[in-house]
């Protein structure tokens, strides 16, 4: 059993999922991840009483990993959020399947907690199903309506991809704990009792031998290793004269490297790398949360965009149906020919095809969105169209102010006047249309994947140091000591042994391995330098990529803002054109194809306007993501940057 000491955050009074209170402290000295936890104390008590269970080990692992993740989050990010990897028993997926009576293949579809223990399953309550609560309001005949913010929270709690990302951080924390274990005091205990009967002679001999041995091993940061043990033997005849003998013994050994493999920096390299790996895992997870949240928002708004396309296609279809009716009514007056009526019917049929296709595309995108959330694709779920309405309203407010400003200044020049084209970027920039130089500077400071790449360069430099150390001669100073004596079968008649240090057996030596053959080490050293060069190039490549991403996204924002203005004007012109052509159609002044073309132009303008609204919003989120300004909490909900 190990007692683990060191610098972890003071989370006094917090409780583990098992309900045990734990107290974890941080000291501001150099951290060595040794942790005192109530889980360890409970495990020690269980060991001593002989009732330790796999569940106790699991709880201790959770306690240690959570402490390490909290501490490393403070060091890396200046804040800490709980990273819980255990899937709750009552998930939204389970509720949807059970309460909407959806088909499923096996109990695994309902979650791990629903699985039935197999034969020989360990004594652990990890598998425990719970009854479903009363039907929530959205579990009736109508579908569950989900907003954008609710989708982010559902994704954080249900997404398989999100869960895997959390587990990578947890595994890195456990691997760090394993490396810490290499430098802990490790106690061993062995109790042994054996009875033997020898019937080869005239008188059978029966004797019993018992021993108790306790040991301690420790590896120091200098590279030195010690091992010590002490024990008692007792051997006794159970037949004949029933004599007995007791043996007491102790031994110790030490090995101290003096050249190759010595020194704190070399010996602690694996532990240092494990610490860095936890930090990298935290950086990767934070970056993942930002990318994941924006991808969820993009998929969500893409579904709403397609929903709006269905509405526009339906309105276009209705309008063409009315146009066909008018054409059929006016054919008797001679205003339209049969060919023109057939053209109207053909346009109506094409509009119906487009409407049906838009509906199917909406259903496909909605199913794909459910799968991204790790929810059943056949579940009754709808998205809140109000989220798109908010974006359209926001865009219209901006466009209204732009039209007012331009209307006060607009004059009609003469036809022969020179044409001066306004440069891209007319109007007022949005709040996230930063100056490119400022945006790049902020991104280079905040991008966590760039911090990981720079950290890996330092890791590879340490790798060069370790590889160079392997080229040296191996010189090891060692010593052994043994005091007392052991007793075993056939030694019951001997006198008891004592721990007499004057009669002990002591030895010391020096082992020298000269560096005559270092081919593998030489090659590894050269490879370590190549890896350093690769790491440096990775930083350069990622840095250039970050700059390009940010600059491209700012250009896309400017282009999309221009598209908003253009498509807004296109919608107004198309609506006016449709109204005019329908009046002219009734008057018999135009052909039916003019109405069809006007409606197609309106449908295209409406879809392009909605596309620009959604694209601009996604662009705002993408700029914040790639500048490192978007903050995501433990529930998956973002907190946007507030420009000054």
Q: Which residue has the higher pLDDT, 615 or 241?
A: 615
The CA distance from 302 to 625, in Å, is 18
Q: Residue 406: what pLDDT?
A: 52
Work out the pLDDT band at 38, boundaries 50, 70, 90: very low
Is the confidence at residue 14, as pLDDT, over 70? no
Work out the pLDDT band at 110, boundaries 50, 70, 90: confident
Work out the pLDDT band at 328, boundaries 50, 70, 90: confident
- The CB density around residue 95, as the number of other CB atoms within 10 Å, is 20
Is the confidence at residue 494, as pLDDT, over 70? yes
Residue 594 burial (10 A CB sphere; 0-12, 13-18, 19+): middle
Percent of the chain exceeding pLDDT 70 equals 87
**CA atoms within a 13 Å half-sphere pointing along the CA-CB vector of 497:** 22
Is the confidence at residue 51, as pLDDT, over 70? no
Work out the pLDDT band at 425, boundaries 50, 70, 90: low
The CA distance from 455 to 501, in Å, is 52
Contact 614, 389 (CB under 8 A): no
Is the confidence at residue 43, as pLDDT, over 50? no
Distance spanning both ends of the chain, measured CA to CA: 55
Is the confidence at residue 236, as pLDDT, over 90? no
Note the pLDDT tens digit of each residue in 451-461: 999 999 999 99
Percent helix, strand, coil in the chain, to 5, is 55, 15, 30
Work out the pLDDT band at 21, boundaries 50, 70, 90: very low
Is the confidence at residue 173, as pLDDT, over 60? yes
In terms of Cα–Cα distance, which of 66, 58, 83 is closest to 9?
66
Q: Residue 225: what pLDDT?
A: 93
Is the confidence at residue 423, as pLDDT, over 80? no
Mean pLDDT of 434-453: 94
Is the confidence at residue 40, as pLDDT, over 90? no
Work out the pLDDT band at 133, boundaries 50, 70, 90: low
Q: b or e along 151-186 (b: 16 or more beta carbons within 10 Å of the residue's beta carbon)?
A: bbbbbbbbbeebbebbebbbebbebbbebbeebbee
24: phi > 0 → left, psi -120 to 50 → alpha, else beta; which?
A: beta
H or E stretch at 453: helix 448-469
Q: Residue 90: what pLDDT?
A: 80
Note the pLDDT tens digit of each residue in 184-233: 888 988 988 989 888 776 778 888 989 999 999 999 999 999 999 999 98
In terms of Cα–Cα distance, which of 516, 512, 617 is closest to 564?
617
Q: Residue 241: what pLDDT?
A: 78
Note the pLDDT tens digit of each residue in 364-402: 999 999 999 999 999 999 999 999 999 998 888 887 776
Mean pLDDT of 153-177: 94
H or E stretch at 256: strand 244-257
Q: Residue 338: what pLDDT?
A: 79
Q: Which residue has the higher pLDDT, 131 or 313?
A: 313
Q: Residue 216: what pLDDT?
A: 93
Is the confidence at residue 240, as pLDDT, over 90? no
Is the confidence at residue 33, as pLDDT, over 50? no
Is the confidence at residue 20, as pLDDT, over 50? no
- Predicted TM-score of the model (pTM): 0.84
Q: What is the DSSP track for 429-442?
A: PPTT---HHHHHHH
Q: b or e along 460-497 (b: 16 or more beta carbons within 10 Å of the residue's beta carbon)?
A: bebbbebbebbebebbbeeeebbbbbbbeeebbeeeeb
Percent of the chain exceeding pLDDT 90 equals 49
Is the confidence at residue 548, as pLDDT, over 80? yes
- The CB density around residue 525, as the number of other CB atoms within 10 Å, is 18
The CA distance from 109 to 98, in Å, is 11
Q: Residue 284: what pLDDT?
A: 96
Q: Which residue has the higher pLDDT, 523 or 142?
A: 523
Mean pLDDT of 84-110: 86
Is the confidence at residue 9, as pLDDT, over 70? no
Is the confidence at residue 24, as pLDDT, over 80? no
Q: Residue 495: what pLDDT?
A: 79
Is the confidence at residue 609, as pLDDT, over 80? yes
């Amino acid at each position: 059993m190990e007692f683990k000491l060191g610098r972890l955050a003071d989370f006094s009074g917090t409780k583990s999922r098992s309900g045990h209170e734990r107290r974890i402290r941080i000291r501001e000295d150099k951290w060595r991840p040794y942790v005192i936890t109530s889980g360890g104390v409970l495990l020690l008590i269980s060991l001593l009483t002989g009732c330790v269970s796999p569940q106790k080990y699991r709880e201790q692992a959770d306690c240690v990993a959570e402490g390490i993740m909290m501490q490393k989050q403070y060091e890396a990010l200046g804040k800490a959020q709980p990273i819980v990897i255990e899937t709750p028993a009552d998930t939204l997926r389970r509720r949807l399947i059970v309460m909407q009576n959806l088909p499923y293949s096996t109990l695994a579809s309902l979650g791990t907690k629903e699985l039935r223990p197999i034969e020989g399953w360990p004594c652990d309550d990890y598998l425990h199903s719970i009854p479903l609560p009363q039907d929530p309001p959205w579990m009736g005949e109508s579908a569950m309506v989900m907003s954008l913010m609710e989708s982010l929270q559902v994704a954080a709690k249900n997404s398989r991809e999100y869960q895997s990302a959390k587990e990578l951080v947890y595994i890195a924390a456990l691997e760090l704990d394993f490396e810490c274990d290499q430098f802990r005091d490790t106690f061993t205990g062995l109790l042994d009792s054996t009875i033997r009967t020898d019937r080869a002679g005239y008188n059978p001999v029966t004797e019993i031998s018992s021993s108790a041995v306790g040991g301690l091993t420790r590896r120091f940061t200098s590279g030195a290793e010690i091992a010590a043990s002490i024990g008692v033997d007792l051997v006794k005849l159970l037949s004949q004269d029933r004599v007995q003998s007791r043996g007491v013994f102790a031994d110790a050994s030490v090995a101290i490297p003096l050249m190759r493999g010595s020194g704190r920096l070399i010996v602690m390299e694996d532990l240092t790398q494990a610490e860095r790996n936890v930090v990298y895992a935290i950086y990767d997870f934070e970056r993942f949360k930002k990318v994941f949240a924006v991808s969820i928002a993009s998929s969500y708004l893409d579904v709403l965009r397609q929903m709006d396309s269905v509405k526009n296609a339906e309105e276009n279809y209705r309008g063409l149906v009315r146009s066909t009716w008018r054409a059929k009514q006016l054919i008797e007056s001679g205003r339209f020919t049969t060919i023109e009526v057939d053209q109207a019917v053909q346009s109506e049929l094409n509009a119906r095809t487009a409407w049906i296709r838009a509906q199917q595309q909406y259903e496909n995108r909605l199913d794909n969105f459910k799968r991204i959330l790790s929810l059943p694709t056949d579940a009754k779920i709808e998205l809140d169209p109000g989220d798109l309405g908010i974006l359209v309203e926001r865009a219209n407010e901006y466009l209204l102010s732009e039209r007012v400003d331009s209307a006060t200044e607009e004059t009609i020049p003469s036809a022969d006047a020179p044409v001066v084209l306004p440069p891209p970027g007319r109007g007022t920039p949005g709040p996230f249309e930063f100056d490119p130089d400022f945006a790049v500077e902020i991104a280079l400071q905040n991008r966590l994947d760039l911090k990981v790449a720079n950290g890996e360069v330092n890791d590879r430099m340490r790798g060069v140091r370790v590889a160079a150390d392997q080229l040296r001669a191996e010189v090891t100073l060692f010593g052994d000591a043994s005091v007392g004596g052991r007793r075993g079968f056939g030694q019951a008649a001997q006198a008891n042994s004592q721990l007499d240090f004057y009669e002990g057996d002591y030895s010391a030596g020096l082992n020298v391995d000269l560096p005559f053959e270092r081919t593998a080490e030489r090659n590894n050293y050269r490879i370590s330098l190549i890896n350093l060069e690769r790491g440096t190039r990775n930083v350069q490549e990622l840095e250039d990529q970050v700059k390009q991403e940010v600059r491209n996204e700012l250009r896309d924002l400017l282009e999309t803002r221009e598209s908003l203005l253009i498509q807004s004007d296109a919608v107004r012109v198309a609506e006016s054109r449709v109204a005019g052509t329908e009046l002219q159609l009734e008057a018999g002044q135009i052909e039916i194809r003019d109405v069809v073309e006007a409606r197609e132009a309106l449908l295209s303008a409406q879809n392009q306007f909605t596309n620009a609204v959604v694209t601009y919003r996604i662009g705002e989120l993408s700029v914040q993501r790639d500048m490192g300004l978007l903050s995501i909490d433990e529930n998956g909900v973002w907190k946007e940057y507030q420009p000054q």
